[in-house]
A = this chain, B = another copy of it.
Amino acid sequence: MSDPIVTLTTDFGVASPYVAVMKGVLSSINPRVKLVDLTHQIPPQNVRFAAFYLYTALPYFPPGTIHLVVVDPGVGTERALLCMTIGGHILVAPDNGCWTFLETALSTPQVYRLENQRFRRAPVSATFHGRDILAPAAAHLSLGRQPEEFGPQVETWIRLDMPRARDGINSVAGEIVFVDEFGNLITNISAERLRQTPDVLMVGKRSFKKKFHWVRTYGDAESGTLVGLIGSNNHMEIAVVEGSAASRLKASVGTPVVVGWAR
């Protein structure tokens, strides 16, 4: 049997001792745990970014992987802490919608509140539930504890609004839902909506026709070209070859995007 994996996703930043603290707590409860950093650079308290991140990354992990997510603007308030199984994956996270997009992508989740005192550090601080409740829960899950041992099953939880793309007559309207580190703009327009190759692009108030090319992959156009393509997660992306579309277009999450067919 291989050692159990616990992945870590936080907004703690790379110089923060809080990540190290949680790794210490996890290793103390289960010295065999295999810690896998996903990212600690979720923009501070940006639950929406976390939601897209987890939706993109988590389905690739093997079933049974435990995913610890600490993006928690509501720490210490009445928001619940949850453990859920979804599509074979096990998540431990605050109830703030950070797994909304994952929920739509995978099967029906089973969700439990983390309430059992036995699996918490004592005393529980008011400001660091990642250390005192979430990391201990992930560690105990990695030792074979079952989600239902941690507290009562719940039927409702926070869901983020998911902006949906809309079909027009000769266009599809959506928005940017994620900006990656290359400055590529990932939209909520899925491949299925694009029955034809678009030849017009609007991003915010700027529109592009001749200066916009639809390609199969980044390398299919000259350096500096503004391109549209279907990205690796089946969403339409806007990119600048060997450059940053985010800087070029001054676009960010929420910026409207329309693609159309001029005919």
In this assembly, does A125 line the interface, its C-beta being within 8 Å of a C-beta of chain B? yes
Copies of the polypeptide in the assembly: 3
In the assembled complex, 6 residue pairs joining A and B whose CB atoms fall closer than 8 Å, in A order, are: A7-B20, A15-B53, A20-B39, A27-B36, A44-B181, A76-B220
CB proximity of A99 to chain B, nearest CB, Å: 14
How far apart are A135's CB and chain B's nearest CB, in angstroms?
Answer: 9
Alpha-carbon distance between A8 and B220 when the two chains are bound, in angstroms? 26
Residues of B within 8 A of A79 (CB): 219
A37 at the interface (CB under 8 A from B): yes
Q: Which 3 A-B pairs have the closest CB atoms?
A: A76-B217, A13-B181, A24-B60
Q: Closest residue to A22 on the B side, CB-wise? A: B60
Whole-angstrom distance between the Cβ of A165 and the nearest chain B Cβ: 20
Q: Which residues of A contact B (CB under 8 A)?
A: 2-3, 5, 7, 9, 12-25, 27-28, 31-32, 34-45, 52-53, 56-62, 65, 73-77, 79, 125-128, 131, 180-182, 216-220, 229-232, 237, 242
CA distance in complex: A167, B52 (Å)? 48
Instruction: Let me know if B127 and A2 touch, CB within 8 A.
Output: no
Distance A209 CA – B23 CA, assembled complex (angstroms):
38
Which residue of chain B lies nearest to A61 when distances are taken between CB atoms in the complex? B24
A232 touches B127 (CB 8 A): yes
**Are A5 and B20 CB-contacts (below 8 A) given A15-B41, A76-B216?**
no
CA distance A2 to B230 in the complex (A): 41
Asked if A217 and B56 make an inter-chain contact with CB atoms under 8 angstroms apart, the answer reads: no
In the bound complex, how far is the Cα of B125 from the Cα of A216, in angstroms?
A: 9
| Contact indicator A181/B21 (Cβ below 8 Å) | no
The listed residue (B36, B125, B181, B219) touching A16 by CB distance below 8 A is: B181
